Structure 1
Amino acid sequence: MILVSYGVGTANADAHITAQAGDPNSIDDDLNRILIINNNDNKLNIEQSLTDQLKHHSIQEDSLSDSSNRNQSKLDLYYSTKKTNSSSNRIIIIHELKPCLNISQLNSTNFLWSKYLSYIGERSVSDEFFDHYSASIESGFEINMQLEYCYDIQHDLYWLTQIQLVSHSLILLHYVGLPDDDTSNDFWAYIYGQRCHPIGWCKENSKLMLPPPIVTKRAIQQTTTTTTTLHNNHTILNGNEKQLNMIKGDTTNINQTPPTYLFDKEIGLNPSEQLKKGMLLELQDINRPWTLWFVRIINNRGGRLHLRYITNITEDEEEEEDSSLDIHIFYLDRRVHFIGWQSNNSSIFFYDIPICLKLITIDKEKLIDICLNQSKKQFLPLNLFKAQEEIIKHRFNEGMKLEIFESNKQNIHIGRIGHIHNDYYFDIIIDNDDDNNTNELSFIGYSTHPHILPAHWAAEHKLALMNGKSIRQTEDYWNLYTEKNGIENLAPERCFNLITLNAAGNNRVEPGMKMEMIYTLNNKDYVFSVTLIHVADHLMWLRIDDTSLFNDDKLFYHVLPINSLDVFPVGWA
């Protein structure tokens, strides 16, 4: 289940917050920081984590970026900020992103992001920034692909066409044989209208391929022109020759044609449609990712899958209420695979019951056989997971020192590489400075893990570096460390595979831009409007626009990699 929290302003009692003037934690100062964290003139305190600085660091109002108007907070909608004239006390109305009940233009049934963004004078992150979203709606029909089209139903006549545009189940077609710049006879066709077929279908079904009159007429005109050219120049144009050959039935040089399964309405056109309720998949265990187990799709919303582990030979688990062991995950997550992926990678990966199911009695071998047999009845395109991040080998050695971003406290800690499990996975340990190394926090890492950072990363980005006891370290910690221990223990930068933003193009993002973020709470997916407030290399800091569901202010801020599968363009929900 996905619950949406847009948070467009309401003047209910719970939206009133009292703040003392001059308080560095005042609501004005907090919200006005959204657009200015990247200001080079704004010196951040190395002794505080970034999230803390967002709440406590003093910011001048005139340092707001040029995209902002200083009249109100960027999270306000269009009510006036209500303040008393008293210098000691102010009443501030926070307009959070919940649908307005008292404004007809923006109520819960017709909320429009475009209207909301125009009211607050802000922009959203471009759709092109979200590669996983683009992949989830990418149709198997592509521009310049060719197919056979029945242009005359009465006489059952077909001819080659080329795709010019794709709009889900509608495609704009151009007759092959007509000049590319002649669009006067282009037409829209419905993919599932029984008139579109992949190339080769006519031959297999003994259908007649005959050019329509407009193509024949144009071919005769071109033949006359070509004959004259041949006599005068002793040459023939390649384009005309190609078109004439097509009239004769020669299709040896045709472009790629859509796969046959895309013409089946039951399968769907894109991954968001092709992953269906009840299908089986393989899922890597989060604690032991070299093991996999079977999951069933309980629901699929836009590629966001609700999965449930298979624990018995019946399908009763599909009908159960949401289980606390259910998984909510995007289909392109590196842990999700089609049935049979393990057998193709059996040197490292194997089937095993997940740790979370150890208390449940499961006939392991019998379930494996049943799931493998059941999967033969379902169809998934081979390229369904083509946009999934590849699991690559790491270069780390046990004991290497590095920095670790700890997501719960949102701080960067001193850490090291622990046990090496195999060529792909290893333990990441946050140092606690104890001689016996007890009670150390650790988790499983991999080569492209966004939370493992090279030494000096925190200092270079003006962020605090903590030890395992949450004690801040000095900015020159690593310099002092290498003076004492040498640089041999530091993980070299070649070991890290951190992505960065491309500053050019449509994937550029700036502080203040809006997007939607999924957050799983009590085993339910919530979609929040969030504001981008800071980007540091591959990490981005997001602030929840509607904080009413959170009692812990640490949940107001979320740090995610820029290629996170939990963020989407506005309007996705």
Structure 2
Amino acid sequence: MPLRCAAGYCSNRREDGVYLFRFPKDKIYRELWTQKVQRTRVRWTPTHMSVLCSAHFDDDCFKPLPALRESLGMKVRRSKILLPSAVPTLFSRKKYGQTHAVKTYQSTSIRRQKQQLADDLMKNGRQKAPDESSVEMQNAGFRSHRSPTVTPDPDVHKPLYQSDTAAYGSGPVSVFEWGDYLEKETSLGASVSCFRHAPMCDQWEDISVGMKVEVLNTNAVLPTKVYWIATVIQIAGYKALLRYEGFERDSSRDFWCSLVSGELHPIGWCAMTGKLLVPPQDVTGIADWKEYLMGKMVGAHTLPVEFYLKVSESLKQQSFKMGVRVEVVDPKHISRTRKAVIASVTGGRLRLLYMDQSDSPENVITDFWCHLASPLLHPIGWSKKVGHDIRTPSGKPPGPGLKGNCDSTVNLFKKPRFVYMDGCYFEEGMKLEAIDPLNLGSICVATVQKVLSDGYLMVGIDGGASHAADWFCYHASSHALLPKGFCKKNNIPLTVPKDFDAKAFTWENYLTETNSKAAPPQLFNTDFPGHGISPNAKLEAVDLMEPRLVCVATVKRRAGRLLLIHFDGWEDDFDQWVDHESPDLYPIGWCDLTGYQLQPPLGLVVENQAAPAKKPKIPLYGKKKRRNAKKRLQLLHQVKEDDDDQKPPSSNTTVQPPFKKEMTSVPHMTLVQPKSEPVEHQIAQVEVKIEEVEMETLISGHAAR
């Protein structure tokens, strides 16, 4: 009886033009093969006669040399030879030839939980038939002024809870190329080691300029994938600018690549996996590649062997789970908190759904985004413990999917810096300088309105209506609390109360007129060990006024611990002061690594851009600080009107906003065109030994001339 493929819905034989491979003898790989087959044949076990056909293996699973020789007209016995580490990955639930991807099975408990949540949501009175109404997701922010590139899909069948891989803005996304943008702006990116909360921060010292790696060679005319050695020329966050060996000082072929995408490999990887090392076809003038590589490689360092394993481990986040209940600041009333449940976790960022949705419009579920290390996030019971005001439940039970599974505990949160509250400490009525929580670009004269437990303070901005609803909770060690004279010392404009002249304002006169005293300087967190984030450095930053958005940003200036973040494409009125250790700052490439949606600069033309920006929502809370929101609305309307007036119906170009300098994306680097002359059917094998790593380098004869 002829052998047939053991995969479900596949009965290929050798006569069908495929190759058959027996299951490996190695126990580990044999178990991996078995698990893959069991995706289509439950409880199936292999025998000594079981085989799989070549249709279930990706091209990278085969040795490239036989296929290359066959394409060059050379005789080969078998054009497909499996690598020892090959694992089948291509399976189908339908007959062979039909495309129907098989999804990875989930555990029974997870499937039941998601199914129950979906059923509860469909039974909720908020929803009707899919064609009649839908549940809209309303994102809460401290000032709704920015329109995202992509809006969440309001599909009624989408459950409230979503997996950690479904970041905000899933669906059609804009393709923003950091490499093109950095070259256009002639800017550098902040190092990953400057962000303590970023993945691979502790191991980033292994990455440096001059490092040698093996990467896919796009400058070769061969029918199979080949690789070549490249040098890291520049590092910007998780991105690196590479140059193939052989181009020397020719920067026209430089290209950007992500260091954490799995596309780069250490020296010797091709030798271990059977891949081909072929030099770029446009490199000329090098007669002996072996001698050339020996001169370039000796003494150089490469990517650590376990680098990507460390990347995977650093992305794991075990502390917060979906369904955990927490307390978080209420954006509509910043002086109080409210209970919420974690709906998703993406790269350490939490999407929270408020348990009490009684103040939300009909068919709208209000959510809020923050980082798991955000000072706005607290465990259940925190408000009662420290004496902070918390929203009183409406009496209506939480809706389906909003009850949560368990309460969060203190051990899940980072403990704030310990402060001594005995003796000399903050007192009610003390004056200081503080960042305005509703206008983070302003540092204002403020007053300690109330002293809470565990080092927390309620601070109010002077000059406005003295209402407790405008107070904001800060920890005594917060970067947002500053001693008097900080702005003058660092040449920062100080926002003074309305009845005082900013030019003539002095702290001595103000304290005398208000019959108050300033908080002692030793009470503030002035520790500054230094950081490597320099002005004009590029990064990815959360718009704290619309915290679901992560935007392209620039460090405008720094003052001690503080950084002034400017959002590219927006006016200076929307700049924000943040601490250099803020969990809302990320290195370049963080969104690519975690799957979060990055908002490109306003007015920048990007490829595959989704729906145009919609009109921002009306701010939901606070009667002050609407000046910037109105200006932002006017700017967006102006862009739309100019686009309607000037753009021809058949044109695909985007008119730049008049308030912003011209900023168009640099076109992608043109791929190298194949040579017109025929490829010579000659392959030379060269053994190169570099730092006790022996690798076989296959070099096509025409490239070695």
| TM band (smaller chain) | 0.3 to 0.5
TM-score for the superposition, normalised by structure 2:
0.37
TM-score w.r.t. length of structure 1 = 0.44
